[in-house]
Amino acid sequence: MIDERRVSPLAHREPLHAGDFAHLAEDAFRGIVMVRAAPIHLAAPLQAVTGRTLPIRAGHADLGRRCAVLWLGPDEWAIMTAPDAAAQITQELSAELTGYHHQIVDVSDYNTVLTLRGSRVRELLAKLITIDLHPRHFARGTGVSTLCGKAQVWLVCREDETSAREPLFEVVVRRSMADYLWCLIADAGREWAMPVQDPIGQVPLHMPV
């Protein structure tokens, strides 16, 4: 059941634009399901329920129109799906995995998704992330769990320079860190004239040196 009064973690923010260089927006209420199971038990049920192939290589995601499946660990994945689709996937996958050791949790309300697209987003994110974001290394279908500033995020490359006019990244972050991350990305985008965003509570984005 969806509560119509729900408020997304970044409902107080408006999409930000820095020319054609970078666009930041919240993709609110996306469905996110965490799955832990042995890959040998999970592959077939996942295919049946979501139509996706279980990624078994670290740092990979299987992207689809309705669902994306992100590798998070040797026995852990995240399913990212459309708003309000998480509950049904949770239910169907749980039913399919009955009898096998597994854990499936709908964490949609716990997270939110930031979308970042534009010609300079790789350079923007590189200021905040220690992973190599060169298109050769971080192409479409790459997804990792890492740190973005002080926030733990999942970073997924949905489109790259070969599949679209400009790259598109999704950054999944916990609710409590969402505003910090929003302001931090805006700060990193200052170089391309992204508008300054003041963090809630005036919490400083950077520690005094």
Partner 1 sequence: MFRIRCPYCGERDQIEFGYGGEAHIARPADPDALSDAQWADYVFMRTNTKGLFAERWVHSAGCRRWFNALRDTATDRFVATYVIGEAPPLPVPQLVPGDQAPDPAEAIPEEAAGGGQR
User: Which residues make up the interface to partner 1 (CB under 8 A)?
Assistant: 58-59, 72-74, 76, 130-131, 144-147, 152
Shortest Cβ 147–partner 1 spacing (Å):
5
The helix/strand/coil state of 183 is helix
Shortest Cβ 74–partner 1 spacing (Å):
5
CA angle 115, 116, 117 (to 5 degrees): 120
The smaller minimum CB distance to partner 1, of residues 6 and 150, is found at 150
Shortest Cβ 72–partner 1 spacing (Å):
6
The smaller minimum CB distance to partner 1, of residues 146 and 163, is found at 146
Shortest Cβ 176–partner 1 spacing (Å):
16
The smaller minimum CB distance to partner 1, of residues 150 and 165, is found at 150
The smaller minimum CB distance to partner 1, of residues 144 and 172, is found at 144
Shortest Cβ 63–partner 1 spacing (Å):
19
* Alpha-carbon gap, residue 86 to 115, rounded angstroms: 19
The smaller minimum CB distance to partner 1, of residues 118 and 143, is found at 143
**Long-range residue pairs from 86-94, CB within 8 A, at least 24 positions apart, any chain:** 86/31, 86/32, 86/33, 87/31, 89/31, 89/33, 89/49, 89/50, 90/33, 92/49, 93/33, 93/35, 93/45, 93/46, 93/49
User: In 10 A of CB 12, how many CB atoms?
Assistant: 10
